[in-house]
Amino acid sequence: MNQRPHFIFDAHLDLAMNAMEWNRDLTWPVSDIRESESGMADKPDRGQGTVSFAAMREGRVGLCVATQIARYVHKDNPLPGWHSPQQAWAMTQAQLAWYRTMEEAGQLSPVTDIPSLEAHLKRWEKPGPNEPIGYILSLEGADSMVTLDYVERAYEMGLRAIGPAHYGPGTYAQGTDASGGIGSRGRELLHKMEALNIILDATHLCDDSFWEAMDHFYGPVWASHSNCRSLVPHHRQFSDEQLQELISRGAVIGMPLDAWMMAPGWVRGKSTPQNTGLTLEAMADHIDHVCQLAGNAGHVGIGTDLDGGFGKEQCPMDVGTIADLQKLPAILERRGYSEADLKKILHQNWIDFLYKAWG
């Protein structure tokens, strides 16, 4: 294995959600964040977090897609969320304010176009010990867009990707555990995104909404954090037919580390990484499946979703922090992946995608 740590692009991290809703100061080491949550039980992952800026730098995760996320729920929707789209929008703006303050503190650096991407990659060729981490702003679930005018406003503030749905029914599309298409409002959103060259994140779209979105969107498409349904049967994952559609459109599919999407038969509250034997080998299984479908290593990447509502209790047991992504190259090398393949999977596929989308 190459002795120098590989540069890693993680296509899905809920950094601002952790800061603003979990009240985690990501400038602290992971160990300090965990200690600060000792005895807390309001979230299942308290004391189990895996992400901090220091851990990202240790693992050379120098570039990521970072989210804004705030679900709007109707009165009859049992999912947690905000009771109006205006409240949800306000929460995304609080998250944006946190990203901006992290920029001012030298922790983060926004990447919004080719010049800023190239400048950031240049800095990370020989990064300093506290080099700012690059982030591309994405919106997970579009319900906070009160009207389509808000999409333009968000774009001007740096938003570069949108996943129209999250969990359950949505305003612009139907998400995980829901059914149905995107309808007229969803088509209008996609048209606005296409006009602004905003990337469509197909993750979380239910099957009906996925196929309708593919029929009505002609801009750049990726899937930031989705695994393979043929390995772990669940509609949250993509079927081989969906994966092949994404591949045909030049998409990159990011592999997440949420255990229930990696270990078949995972039972929440009962299964553990230890009693299921879950390791990063499972991530390599999903990576390999996409590569076999594509016939090459050009359409798969990393989109961990680490600390996306789960921590060490629900991710591979050989992942203590996000820095342990550096264990993945050796696993893939043992499976016959070349150095060129590793570079593609760990970062280059996402970067090439952005050059094409933004160029």
Residue 262 pLDDT exceeds 70: yes
Q: Which residues contact 232 (CB under 8 A, 6 or more apart)?
A: 260, 261, 262, 263, 264
CATH node for 8-358: 3.20.20.140
Collapsed DSSP state (helix, strand, coil) of residue 285? helix
Residue 242 has, within 13 A of its CA and on its CB side, a CA count of 26
Domain extents in the chain: 8-358
Collapsed DSSP state (helix, strand, coil) of residue 320? coil
Q: Which residue has the tokens 């679900």?
A: 71
Per the prediction, the chain carries an average pLDDT of 97
pLDDT band at 197 (very low <50, low <70, confident <90, very high): very high
Instruction: Note the pLDDT of residue 136.
Output: 99
Instruction: Note the pLDDT of residue 1.
Output: 39
pLDDT band at 3 (very low <50, low <70, confident <90, very high): low
The C-alpha angle with vertex 246 and arms to 240 and 252, in degrees rounded to 5, equals 110
Determine contact, residues 252/300, Cβ cutoff 8 Å.
Answer: yes
Residue 247 pLDDT exceeds 90: yes
Closest CA to 246 of 288, 297, 211, 216: 211
Cα separation, 112 vs 159, in Å, equals: 8
Instruction: Note the pLDDT of residue 45.
Output: 95
Element housing 340 (H / E): helix 339-343
Residue 100 pLDDT exceeds 80: yes
Which pLDDT tens digit goes with each residue over 208-234? 999 999 999 999 999 999 999 999 999
* Cα distances (Å, whole numbers) of residue 327 to 5, 163, 213: 10, 29, 36
Residue 119 pLDDT exceeds 90: yes
Q: Among residues of the chain, what percentage have pLDDT more than 70?
A: 99
Q: Among residues of the chain, what percentage have pLDDT more than 90?
A: 96
pLDDT band at 347 (very low <50, low <70, confident <90, very high): very high
Q: Residue 276: what residue type?
A: T
Q: Which residue has the tokens 């992942």?
A: 319
Instruction: Note the pLDDT of residue 77.
Output: 84
The C-alpha angle with vertex 196 and arms to 12 and 241, in degrees rounded to 5, equals 55
pTM for the model stands at: 0.97
Please state the rounded mean pLDDT for residues 98-117. Answer: 98
Q: Which residue has the tokens 């867009």?
A: 145
The residues pairing with 301 across neighbouring beta strands, listed in sequence order, are: 254
Please state the rounded mean pLDDT for residues 135-155. Answer: 98
Please state the rounded mean pLDDT for residues 331-341. Answer: 98
The residues pairing with 36 across neighbouring beta strands, listed in sequence order, are: none
Q: Exposure of 286 by Cβ count < 10 A (0-12 exposed, 13-18 middle, 19+ buried)?
A: buried
Residue 195 pLDDT exceeds 90: yes
